[in-house]
Amino acid sequence: MLARYQLFYWPGIQGRGEFVRLALEDAGAAYDHVARGSGGIDKMMAMMKGKSGNLGEKRPPFAPPFLKSGRLVIAQVANILFYLGPRLKLSPRDEASRLWLHQLQLTVTDFVKEVHDTHHPIATGLYYDDQKPEAKQYAQSFLKERVPKYLGYFEKVLEKSGGPFVLGRKATYIDLSMFQLIEGLRYAFPTAMRRIERKVPKVVDVRDRVAKRKGIKAYLASDRRIAFNEDGIFRCYPELDE
């Protein structure tokens, strides 16, 4: 029997949790999305306070998402994927390749933080409405410089690996993250992305291949995939687009 994983994340958004969910769904792994169930948010908060009565007691996560696998509680998206990779057959097994894959995923982490800051450049604790002019300024250089830089980097990595996937012939969890990045950026910045995508055809091709994978296709068609919305990381505020 497949291990049953427990994923802890905010119930109403894709957010950072989605990068983990895509891996679990692609692999057809059995998992519960705890905070979507009754009393789930209380359970999640108890884990973070170290008051859940299990290993989370001694090693509380700083923030969601986190994954419970047996007695282990693992937080930080890239760390969770590093752990899940070989178990879900979404990662090579040799140390050098695992570190390389993890390094790429950590670059995605950095990118995602910058995506988040397009609508929250001044403070996470303030509303978007309280930092709109700053968000506009931030988004301008984000779209002009940062998105082309990050996606251009992954395009170069694809050239060097020979593709069609980021690490080469076989898909790994970083490809699922490429899918999510392109989907999210298209939702948030459709105009800018039409321009930027022309420069990164290999990355876009990864997105297309991932969208056709059996587990992902089923997931996207299910009601488990929450739609993008303005509480998540990728938000559609037309005034921030080009």
Using CB under 8 A, list all residues that contact its own copies.
50, 57-62, 72, 74-76, 78-79, 82-83, 96, 99-100, 102-103, 106-107, 109-110, 113, 117, 121-126, 134, 137-138, 141-142, 145-146, 150, 153, 156-157, 160-161
For residue 23, the minimal CB distance to its own copies (Å) is: 16
Residue 161 or 229: the one with the smaller Cβ distance to its own copies is 161
Give the CA dihedral 8, 13, 16, 21, nearest 10 degrees: 60
- Say which DSSP state 239 is in: G
- Beta strand 72-75 pairing with 66-69: antiparallel
| The token pair that represents 93 in the structure block | 């097994």
Residue with Cβ nearer its own copies (174 or 216): 174
Cβ of residue 132: shortest distance to its own copies, in angstroms? 13
Query: Three-state DSSP class for 173?
Result: helix
As measured in angstroms, the least distance from the Cβ of 189 to its own copies is 16
State the residue for tokens 């996470």.
124
Our CB check for its own copies shows the closer of 138 and 228 to be 138
- CA dist 128 and 54 (Å) reads 37
CB of 155 to its own copies, least distance (A): 12
Compute the residue count for the chain: 242
